[in-house]
Amino acid sequence: AQSVTQLDSHVSVSEGTPVLLRCNYSSSYSPSLFWYVQHPNKGLQLLLKYTSAATLVKGINGFEAEFKKSETSFHLTKPSAHMSDAAEYFCVVSLYNFNKFYFGSGTKLNVKP
Amino acid sequence: DGGITQSPKYLFRKEGQNVTLSCEQNLNHDAMYWYRQDPGQGLRLIYYSQIVNDFQKGDIAEGYSVSREKKESFPLTVTSAQKNPTAFYLCASTRDRENTEAFFGQGTRLTVV
């Protein structure tokens, strides 16, 4: 069975400090992993994706994530938070050729001035 | 620019009425999806279609119907049988049945009163 767990429903950081959003997954197959961002009342925008190439993946807006198979984790990080990063973030697993995506429940990031 | 267009952005309906949400893509993608988003629950798959004139039920298909008469269009009908239709609905597409990234529309917020 496949599942995605985002360990924090809310994260609050100060502007300029590091961001860590945690994601663990379970999968019977080699998954592809994604992080998406959603601003209020908007669709989801892809931040980055892992598809069995380099385990450290760089995305847009300074975000990056590291795939750790031994820990079944795919945590999202950013060295320095910006006010515009305040949004909800979703970790997503998909399986090759199964055409399905499994979404975590989301983490709302609040950035304080 | 290529993308996915959902319309309308906001939709209000009376209880007991059917309502159809539009989703159009000009990305030439084969696969299209409908998700429902409720607070704190992530995204749940309603229906998906891998090819024209074919579609499959997702995890929460009861009370919904779809059609895929054209590659670029995948409308969703919320019927009166759906017990809790008020939600944010997102349409997505992927290039093909392999695990490529999903592109999302901006969503339709449906409120049933």
Tokens of A19: 């961001």
Q: Do A90 and B43 touch (CB under 8 A)?
A: yes
**What confidence tens digit (pLDDT) does each residue in B43-57 have?**
899 999 989 999 999
- Name the average pLDDT for chain A: 90
Distance CA B35, CA B90 (A): 5
**What confidence tens digit (pLDDT) does each residue in A50-98 have?**
887 788 999 999 999 999 989 999 999 999 999 999 999 999 988 765 5
Q: Is A2 on the interface with B (CB under 8 A)?
A: no
Pairing between β-strand A73-78 and β-strand A64-68 as defined by DSSP bridges: antiparallel
Per-residue pLDDT at B97 exceeds 70: no
User: Identity (one letter) of the amino acid at B40?
Assistant: G
- For residue A83, the SS3 value is helix
Q: Do B99 and A51 touch (CB under 8 A)?
A: yes
Residues from B in contact with A at Cβ < 8 Å: 4, 6, 9, 31, 33, 35, 40-45, 48, 50, 88, 90, 92, 94, 97-99, 101-107, 109
DSSP string, A47-78: EEEE-SS-SEEE-GGG-EEEEETTTTEEEEEE
Among B28, B27, B21, B25, CA closest to B47:
B21
Distance CA A55, CA B79 (A): 44
**Averaged over B59-71, what is the pLDDT?**
96
Distance CA B45, CA B26 (A): 22
Q: Do B104 and A41 touch (CB under 8 A)?
A: no
User: Alpha carbon A8 to chain centroid distance?
Assistant: 12
